[in-house]
A and B are shown apart, each in its own frame.
Chain A
């Protein structure tokens, strides 16, 4: 089965290559080309939250497996998007990465240093280099502090500069995020949602971090304001060489801002690919369902698209399904007459010839299906206008 999208490779110089899995390899190594150093590396990260019961004696009766063995690397200066539905563990990944939680298992390596278990002053030193932007600009700013107070707090905590120098720095930061430097005296309630989010961004920038974890930074904002914040984040990345982990549920936004995208389902990464590749040639049945569910603001395109309606809800992360976690809702499994392998064996993330990493036993079967091709609502196969994926760059 030849994938129709391969015909899009610009100029036709790239021979259509059959899709095949390369031998199993360390998932971490893939997607990290030799010239780009990963800033953060996560190996087999697990974050379980205990469920306890009992009044006097808290018995440990189970775990919510929010993150259950994920490996990924974020290169310096890139944006890695993390998408998935609520409860898939994407926010927990971000928070664990920043060591706001102590991971249950696995390793986190930040700029060559293992920070999985560091504590105290060495943890504080690392934290200086990574910051977070939160979803809700209303609850993430202290209502009793002025904008200047909020922005200078990280400087204070880390004992950086003081007095006049610090005040100047705050004014600079306000200007950097596109606000009037004189607004520093105002309180959060005097600002609109978009302006508050800018203050949150200025606070994250105060320590000149290397990594910023942005957890749904625009989903609480009005539609007309979202683009302002997206553009701001993109500009700042260019200016300061920031590395972003961008966590969101909205695939259109994630695709716009990210270089690579990891799709999560129930605590696992099911697919990891360049943002272009993921959209042009998704290889996991869940990614395809997710892409097909995103409405596109164009009635003509909507009329052409075929939506995959997943049945049922996401199962509970405290008792995930055996084998492939998606098998209870998978449309492909149904088509393949419910192979036993999906229930019995957990698929590992494997690198495909397209440079994708995908965790599905039957990813080859996905390629070329009508569902995959129609995800975008393109009329059949598009002309050679858009060169397709970097086929064949897997090791």
Chain B
């Protein structure tokens, strides 16, 4: 039984400019102790998916309009706020991108940590404080007893993120959602924080969902990866499989559009043409079709579902043998994925039928 099981999740935002289709039927599973990467650009729905799991969508604009989120077999979508409160922090914890805005600037670290611990555990102030000291020491804070009395602004960005990690792990949650935890940090500090995060998660057997736009971070940190685009999961595989054999044109595009530190000289960057999608307009076909070099006529009319890239009856959703799946009508071959564009002689990306008729 999976620890977390998201089924056909649909999230929409009602705004003055129309309805934003942020998440459009996302399903995935997560086992205990597993690390899952969620990659995609801003607006692809990776953060919204997890805010929905935590039931922290900005209300009233954002709503779960369909699907289920099963955590240890319990559907979180039906829970009321007080039941959710019990779960948050204790069972599922979250780390955000910007540690400055997620810490209260007018309270000391001690007050915030003690409050978190006491909200879920019947312990005395003294015990809670001792636990806080222990946690800060665990995340590598020098002289933790002294630093407890400091305010958030007295910490550097990397240190603040350590405090966040300490608080997130305070109640030994089963699932930790880290939303771009190192995007605001410098690379050397990013290395510190990621190393800490993966070591602690492994020590405690915590399952981690790591949300990031950086494929390099995914490659080093996760066992399994979902690639998202326009509110859909477009490719899902073990991280090793995903990088060895990217099978969705968007994944291929992402890999070719970023310079690699270890690339040969004269490396050619192949940008993904066009602009990110407008989520207010539900596409008729594949959401990536307008930017895709591999598109065929069918892509304009029918949205492909996530299917195994090699036919199999036994689809594994989790674990080291998870089935490699992609949502694409015309998957890039291994050679094409390596080259970054279609190699078939005479292949031309299919024209948008609505443009053609004009």
User: A299 contacts B216, CB within 8 Å?
Assistant: no
> Quick check: A297 and B218 within 8 Å, CB to CB?
yes
A193: min CB distance to chain B, Å: 9
Determine whether B270 belongs to the interface, using a CB cutoff of 8 Å to chain A.
Answer: yes
A86 at interface, CB cutoff 8 A: yes
- Pull 14 A–B residue pairs with CB atoms less than 8 Å apart, ordered by A: A223-B213, A224-B276, A227-B272, A230-B269, A249-B187, A256-B259, A256-B267, A256-B269, A293-B190, A294-B261, A296-B262, A300-B240, A307-B191, A386-B264
Say whether B332 faces chain A, with CB atoms less than 8 Å apart.
Answer: no
Contact B192 A310 (CB under 8 A): yes
With A253-B259, A293-B190, A299-B243 already in contact, the answer to whether A309 and B195 are too (CB < 8 A) is: yes
Contact with A along B213-230 (1 / 0, CB 8 A): 111111110000000000
B195 lies within 8 A of A296 (CB): no
**CB-CB contacts below 8 Å: B216-271 with A:** 216-220, 239-240, 243-244, 253-265, 267, 269-271
Evaluate contact between A377 and B243: CB separation under 8 angstroms: no
- B residues with CB within 8 A of A: 41-42, 156, 158-159, 186-192, 195, 213-220, 239-240, 243-244, 253-265, 267, 269-273, 275-276, 291
How many of A's residues come within 8 Å of B, CB to CB?
A: 49
A301, closest chain B residue (CB): B262
* Cα distance, A386 to B158, chains bound together (Å): 37
A204-244 CB mask vs B (1 if < 8 Å, else 0) is 00000000000000000011111110110000000000000
Residues of B within 8 A of A298 (CB): 219, 243, 260, 262
**A244-272: which have CB < 8 Å to B?**
249-253, 255-257
Whether the pair B260, A222 counts as a contact (CB closer than 8 A) is no
Which residue from B188, B253, B258, B276 sits with its C-beta under 8 Å from A293? Answer: B188
Chain A residues contacting B259 (CB-CB under 8 Å) are 230, 252-253, 255-257
Q: Does A290 contact B (CB under 8 A)?
A: yes
In the bound complex, residues from chain A placing their C-beta under 8 Å from that of B159 are 313
Q: Inside 8 A of A289's CB, which chain B residues have their CB?
A: 188
Say yes or no: A295-B217 contact (C-beta < 8 A), given A194-B275, A227-B257. Answer: yes
> In whole angstroms, what is the CA distance A199 to B187 when docked?
29
A376 within 8 A of B: yes
Bound complex: CA of A115 vs CA of B265, how far in Å?
Answer: 36
Distance (whole angstroms) from the CB of B316 to the closest CB of chain A = 19
Q: Contacts of A252 on B, CB cut-off 8 Å? A: 258-261, 263
Nearest A residue to B187 via CB reads: A293
User: Once the chains are docked, how many angstroms separate the CA of A308 from the CA of B261?
Assistant: 16
Interface residues of A in 267-323 (CB under 8 A from B): 276, 279, 289-302, 307-311, 313-314
Is B253's CB under 8 angstroms from A224's CB?
yes
| Additional 10 contacts, C-beta under 8 A, given A253-B259, A290-B187, A293-B187 | A223-B257, A228-B273, A230-B259, A252-B259, A293-B191, A294-B187, A296-B216, A297-B243, A309-B191, A310-B191
* Cα of A296 to Cα of B156 in the assembled complex, Å: 26
- Given contacts A85-B187, A294-B216, whether A378 and B240 have CB atoms under 8 Å apart is no
Knowing A249-B186, A299-B239 are in contact, say whether A192-B258 is a contact too (CB < 8 A): no
Q: Which of B195, B260, B275 contacts A192 (CB 8 A)?
A: B275
B158 near A313 with CB under 8 A, answer yes
A37 lies within 8 A of chain B by Cβ = no
B188 & A290 in contact (Cβ 8 Å cutoff): yes
Q: Are B195 and A227 in contact (CB under 8 A)?
A: no
> CA separation between A117 and B262, bound complex, in Å?
42
Cβ contact within 8 Å between A307 and B214: no
B216-A228 in contact (CB<8A): no
B98 vs chain A, min Cβ distance (A):
14
Chain B residues lying within 8 Å of A279, measured Cβ to Cβ, are 261
Q: At the interface, yes or no: A9 with Cβ under 8 Å from chain B?
A: no
Chain B positions within 8 Å of A230 at CB level: 259, 269
- Whether A176 sits at the interface, judged by CB under 8 Å, is no
Shortest beta-carbon distance, A395 to chain B, in Å?
25
